[in-house]
Amino acid sequence: MTDLSKKRIVVTGGAGFLGQAVLRVLRRRGVADDQIVVPRRREYDLTVESHAERLYETARPDVVIHLAAEVGGIGANMEHPGRFFYANMAMGLHLVEHARRRGLEKFVHTGTVCAYPKHCPIPFREEDLWNGYPEETNAPYGLAKKAIFVMLDGYRREYGMKSAVVVPVNLYGPGDNFDPRSSHVIPALVRKCEQARLAGDPQIVCWGTGTATREFLYVDDAAEGIVRAAEVMEEPVPINLGGGMEIPIRDLVGRIAKACTFDGQVVWDASKPDGQPRRGLDISRARSLLGWEPRQDFDAGLIATVAWWREHGGR
């Protein structure tokens, strides 16, 4: 087991939603602030190889936890498929190669549930990752992230490089991204319900039919799983991190409306895509390899998310 309290750790994306939660977990593990480096894009554009190389030279990490990503909801994926593929592929490619060159002790890669095939059997099992093509609207992003799984496996077999791979489902919680241009489903719906409630609007319009299902993981639970993988894994075996409950989007909207005390009508715009038909993860591998499982009650997590938005973004 790797004692992270004795390591210098680079956390890419450490200033973001998931990154801040990972930093909280690292600090609870005894990692001092001066042992953690959080590269910011204004200094290190990790899609540029020379910037990734310079990060290793200046930070001198023992462990890299790679969280940085260019990502968004269905709309953002449809608008930027080329950019999402290039940015995520380039960041992973440069960071892994220069980790090898510098003899990094361990590289932790955060994948995505978007890597799974569109029509994957429920629950998603890691063995099924390659049994089909991802859902089309997020395939460029999902495939770019998944290609790094293969790279890490190859580097482990050829160079002996230690690594870990986790595959989180959709995240949510306080501090999420509520930007309507790039947010995922829960923050987008919270913002929509709150704005309608405050304006006294009688209805909200939601994309799709509401029949697609999703699974959600509270950000602090995800962070615990990622740090646990950094501690105990040395092989890049993909490990699902899921919330343990598959929920139809139609039911999700009802739960969010209740948390927001919005009692208006929900209108479904079926001309817009549903995305992947179903998502629900098998987390038995995380239980056995990491000793991890989610702990946050879903509805309580929604209430905390709404409260955060009201305090920080909904004024």
Kindly give the confidence (pLDDT) of every residue in the chain, 315 residues in length, as a single tens digit, with 9 standing for 90 and above: 999 999 999 999 999 999 999 999 999 999 999 999 999 999 999 999 999 999 999 999 999 999 999 988 788 889 999 999 999 999 999 999 999 999 999 999 999 999 999 999 999 999 999 999 999 999 999 999 999 999 999 999 999 999 999 999 999 999 999 988 778 899 999 999 999 999 999 999 999 999 999 999 999 999 999 999 999 999 999 999 999 999 999 999 999 999 999 999 999 999 998 888 888 999 999 999 999 999 999 999 999 999 999 999 755
Tell me how many degrees the CA angle 11-69-113 measures, rounded to the nearest 5.
Answer: 105
Q: In this structure, are residues 215 and 246 in contact, taking their beta carbons and an 8 Å threshold?
A: yes
pLDDT at position 189: 95
- Residue 308, pLDDT score: 96
Position 277 scores a pLDDT of: 87
86 given a catalytic annotation: no
> What crossing angle do the helices spanning 49-59 and 81-102 adopt, rounded to 10°?
40
Q: Are 139 and 196 in contact (CB under 8 A)?
A: no
The confidence score (pLDDT) of residue 71 equals 85
Any idea which residue has 């950000």 for tokens? 219
How far is 2 from 130, CA to CA, in rounded Å? 30
Q: What is the DSSP letter of 217?
A: E
pLDDT given for residue 292 in this prediction: 98
The half-sphere exposure of 105 on its side-chain side, counting CA atoms within 13 A, is 18
Given this model, what pLDDT does residue 314 score? 59
CA 250 centroid distance within chain: 22
For residue 141, the cross-strand partners are: none
Q: Which CATH class is domain 4-175+215-246+277-296?
A: alpha beta
User: How much is the CA Rg of the chain, to the nearest whole Å?
Assistant: 19
Residue 40: CB atoms within 10 A of its CB come to: 9
Tokens encoding 166? 């986790």
pTM of the model: 0.93
Cβ atoms 276, 135 nearer than 8 A: yes
Write down the domain spans for the chain: 4-175+215-246+277-296
| Catalytically annotated residue among 44, 116, 141, 155 | 141
Name the residue among 233, 183, 175 with its Cα closest to residue 207. 183
**Distance of alpha carbon 291 from its chain centroid, rounded?**
20
